């Protein structure tokens, strides 16, 4: 956990009082909606179909139990008793009143949570691997650098009015759980031949109307130069990014139009003029941030305690353990994923009661720490393996032990037309129907790893382009239709999926997904060939044939 100091607290409190004044001026008519809109967006406030929506940042996906309880409090006090975890380590509340927002922000500020820049044309919440600090394969904890970037990008005087939104993601593992290749800037922490820690910097990834996979702009930027290099990229983008067309304003379009070599040269020229500036991160500064992250004092525990051996006789426990428990860097401990994808439920939603219960379990079993991942699930990052059976029973009681992590019913979905003013079609009911179709755990297990992603419009908040199966809602003559892509992925081998054919109506989406899955089961070379690999091997044609033969 990163502990705020007086300076961090001062900034977020000053931000709350500024926003309180802005809301007051808006409600009195001193500010027009046109003037206010960007100000509210910069504090995470959207206007959706039914009400204002409030998006709160969970930087690099790390929460303390105290913070989670405060989110539960906001859900109960200012909203309708639940919240929605998003694909970018944020939580959204759907029914907030503008007049009460300053109070909600103030309650969150008390525990070091803010909503700064969770929307608007500025640098957004910095996301990272939800297993940061505990993953066995990582170089070092990427959250140190995430926090440095969080501070650097917060209320930046030069880059608060960029051409368009701007998103960072960081990973320090070989396996990318942070989807860095679909971010405006993706950072991969690694060590060079001299053993020095630095970053491969990728730029220009993004989904939306025109999806692009990020390209490497510089293979190695030393940690000390990270902020100056980022500033150079942002400065080039701020000056040359397109502002004439909202759909062409992201940095991915600038990189595409200039070409990566030309863009890289512009950045390099800028960077060489400022790399030895006040932005240089001395070891001492980095160490100071590092020192304010606290880590648990782990016990020396056995890998295979008696409790686990005994519980192995319970097939339900075993199904859950095999699915939701991942190796930890410390022997005797495990990372436990909490599925927010119950059968028939809206993906990523948690009630205030669940949040409180999870906070209590985190205190009891995970050193008071909770993680939020881009797959819209939560995790307890430091669970002693001996406690797994007891924890499982508790998680099951509150409905977050569905053993479907990374399986076909672990669906990523945006809020869609049920909530969102941009949506063309609904997402949640599609997801709910799919979880019912694939509710049988043995079937889902037989199918294996398969990511289904659903977006209710081309803005792609459900990351449909990079779903193994991607579902995009469109509108045809006032009816909801859905385009289906397959073969996308968001990890280190990120690729945009391929459209399999004409859009299908709302009522047929689940049937089509079943057809695709059946085709895969018939076509796969071996039981352990994953869906994504079968698509890669065979292309979309056999799937297209299967789906459209009878349609």
Partner 1 sequence: MPLVRNGKIAGDEFVHVADDAEIPGDGAILISSARFLADAETLSRRAGKTGVIWPNNRDVDDLVPYLDRLAAVALVFPIFRDGRAYSQARLLRERHSYKGELRATGQVLRDQFVFMLRAGFDTFEVRKESDAEAFAQTAKRYSVFYQPTGDGRLTALHRRMQQRHSESAGQ
Partner 2 sequence: MTSPLEQKKIRITGPSMVTANRTWDGVVIYRTPDHGWSVNLSDAAIVRTSDEARALLAESVADDVGAVGAYIAPVEIKDGGKIRPGNLREHIRSEGVTIDLPVPA
Where do contacts with partner 2 occur on this chain (CB under 8 A)?
26-29, 32-33, 47-52, 80-82, 96-99, 345-346, 349-352, 417-419, 421-422, 424, 426, 428-429, 432, 475, 478, 480
294 contacts which partner out of partner 1, partner 2, none, CB within 5 to 8 A by kind? none
In the complex with partner 2, which residue's Cβ is closer, 52 or 199?
52
| Residue 277 found at the interface with partner 1 (CB under 8 A) | yes
- C-alpha 397/C-alpha 353 separation (Å) is 12
- Pairing mode of beta strands 168-171, 185-191: parallel
Q: In angstroms, what is the minimal distance from the CB of 7 to partner 1?
A: 4
In the complex with partner 1, which residue's Cβ is closer, 222 or 345?
222
In the chain, what is the straight-line distance between the N-terminal and C-terminal CA atoms, in Å?
53
Q: In angstroms, what is the minimal distance from the CB of 158 to partner 1?
A: 4
Q: Checking phi first, is residue 286 left (phi over 0); if not, alpha (psi -120 to 50) or beta?
A: alpha
Contact string 210-239 vs partner 1 (x = CB under 8 A): -------------------------x--xx
380: β partners: 336
| Residue 98 found at the interface with partner 1 (CB under 8 A) | no
154 contacts which partner out of partner 1, partner 2, none, CB within 5 to 8 A by kind? partner 1
| Residue 285 found at the interface with partner 1 (CB under 8 A) | yes
Q: Are 518 and 509 in contact (CB under 8 A)?
A: no
Contact string 99-128 vs partner 1 (x = CB under 8 A): ----------------------x-------
Q: In angstroms, what is the minimal distance from the CB of 79 to partner 2?
A: 9
Query: DSSP string spanning 271-319?
Result: HHTTTTSTT---HHHHHHHHHTB---------SS-HHHHHHTT-HHHHH
Residue 474's Cβ-count burial label (10 Å; 0-12, 13-18, 19+) is middle
Q: In angstroms, what is the minimal distance from the CB of 42 to partner 1?
A: 9
Query: Scanning residues 27 to 66, which ones bind partner 1 (CB under 8 A)?
Result: 30, 35, 38-39
In the complex with partner 2, which residue's Cβ is closer, 399 or 448?
399
The stretch near partner 1 (CB under 8 A) out of 43-51, 183-191, 277-285, 398-406 is 277-285
473: β partners: 482
Chain position carrying tokens 């970037």 = 149
> Comparing C-alpha atoms, which of 175, 267, 263, 195 is closest to residue 230?
267
Q: In angstroms, what is the minimal distance from the CB of 281 to partner 1?
A: 8
Helix H, strand E, coil C: the string for 50-103 is CCEEEEEECHHHEEEHHHHHHHHHHHHHHCCCEEEECCCCEEEEEEECHHHHHH
- C-alpha 375/C-alpha 326 separation (Å) is 15
Strands (DSSP E) found in 378-434: 378-384, 412-413
| Residue 242 found at the interface with partner 1 (CB under 8 A) | no
277 contacts which partner out of partner 1, partner 2, none, CB within 5 to 8 A by kind? partner 1
In the complex with partner 1, which residue's Cβ is closer, 27 or 285?
285
In the complex with partner 2, which residue's Cβ is closer, 77 or 175?
77
- C-alpha 386/C-alpha 384 separation (Å) is 5
Residues sharing a CB contact under 8 Å with residue 286, sequence separation 6 or more, in sequence order: 144, 148, 223, 224
DSSP 8-state class, residue 180: G
Q: In angstroms, what is the minimal distance from the CB of 92 to partner 2?
A: 13
| Residue 421 found at the interface with partner 1 (CB under 8 A) | no
276 contacts which partner out of partner 1, partner 2, none, CB within 5 to 8 A by kind? none
Q: In angstroms, what is the minimal distance from the CB of 129 to partner 1?
A: 23
| Residue 299 found at the interface with partner 1 (CB under 8 A) | no
Please state the separation of Cα 281 from the chain's center in Å.
27
| Residue 247 found at the interface with partner 1 (CB under 8 A) | no
In the complex with partner 2, which residue's Cβ is closer, 359 or 450?
359
Cα-based distances in Å from 127 to 86, 131, 178: 11, 12, 7
Please state the separation of Cα 196 from the chain's center in Å.
29
Query: Where do contacts with partner 1 occur on this chain (CB under 8 A)?
Result: 5, 7-8, 10-11, 14, 17-18, 22, 30, 35, 38-39, 121, 151-152, 154-162, 235, 238-239, 243, 273-274, 277-279, 284-285, 288-289
């Amino acid at each position: 956990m990163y502990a705020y100091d007086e300076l961090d607290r001062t900034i977020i409190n000053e931000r709350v009082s500024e926003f309180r004044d802005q809301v007051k001026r808006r409600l009195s008519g001193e500010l027009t909606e046109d003037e206010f809109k960007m100000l509210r967006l910069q504090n995470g406030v959207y206007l959706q179909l039914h009400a204002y929506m409030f998006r709160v940042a969970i930087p690099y996906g790390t929460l303390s139990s105290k913070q989670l309880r405060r989110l539960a409090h906001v859900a109960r006090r200012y909203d309708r008793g639940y919240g929605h975890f998003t694909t970018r380590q944020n939580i959204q509340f759907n029914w907030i009143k503008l007049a009460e927002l300053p109070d909600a922000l103030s309650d969150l500020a008390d525990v070091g949570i803010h909503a700064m820049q969770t929307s608007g044309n500025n640098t957004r919440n910095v996301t990272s691997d939800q297993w940061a600090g505990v993953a066995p394969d990582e170089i070092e904890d990427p959250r140190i650098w995430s926090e440095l970037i969080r501070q650097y990008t917060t209320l930046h005087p030069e880059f608060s009015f960029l051409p368009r939104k701007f998103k960072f993601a960081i990973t320090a593992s070989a396996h990318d759980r942070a989807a860095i290749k679909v971010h405006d800037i993706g950072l991969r922490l690694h060590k060079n031949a001299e053993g020095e820690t630095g970053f491969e910097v990728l730029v220009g990834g993004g989904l939306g109307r025109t999806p692009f996979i990020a390209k490497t702009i510089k293979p190695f930027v030393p940690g000390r130069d990270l902020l100056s290099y980022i500033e150079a990229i942002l400065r080039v983008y701020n000056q040359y990014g397109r502002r004439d067309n909202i759909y062409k304003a992201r940095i991915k379009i600038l990189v595409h139009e200039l070409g990566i070599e030309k863009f890289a040269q512009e950045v390099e020229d800028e960077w060489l003029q400022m790399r030895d500036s006040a932005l240089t991160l001395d070891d001492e500064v980095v160490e100071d941030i590092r020192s304010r992250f606290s880590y648990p004092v782990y016990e020396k525990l056995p890998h295979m305690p008696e409790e686990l051996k005994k519980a192995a006789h319970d097939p339900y426990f075993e199904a859950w353990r095999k699915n939701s428990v991942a190796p930890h860097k410390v022997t005797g401990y495990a990372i436990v994923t909490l599925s927010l994808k119950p059968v028939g439920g809206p993906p990523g939603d948690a009630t205030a009661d669940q949040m409180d219960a999870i906070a209590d379990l985190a205190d009891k079993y995970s050193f008071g720490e909770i993680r939020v991942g881009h797959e819209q699930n939560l995790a307890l990052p430091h669970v002693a393996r001996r406690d797994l059976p007891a924890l499982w029973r508790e998680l099951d009681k509150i409905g977050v032990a569905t053993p479907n992590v990374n399986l076909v019913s672990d669906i990523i979905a945006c809020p869609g037309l049920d909530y969102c003013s941009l949506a063309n079609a609904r997402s949640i009911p599609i997801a709910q129907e799919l979880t019912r179709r694939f509710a049988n755990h043995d079937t889902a297990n037989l199918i294996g790893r398969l990511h289904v992603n659903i977006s209710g419009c081309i803005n792609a908040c459900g990351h449909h382009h990079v779903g193994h199966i991607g579902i995009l809602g469109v509108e045809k003559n006032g009816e909801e239709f859905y385009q289906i892509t397959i073969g996308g992925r968001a990890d280190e081998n990120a690729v945009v999926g391929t459209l399999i054919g004409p859009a299908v109506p709302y009522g047929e989406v689940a049937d089509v997904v079943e057809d695709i899955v059946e085709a895969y089961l018939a076509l796969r070379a071996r039981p352990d060939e994953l869906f994504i690999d079968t698509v890669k091997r065979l292309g979309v044609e056999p799937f297209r044939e299967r789906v459209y033969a009878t349609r």
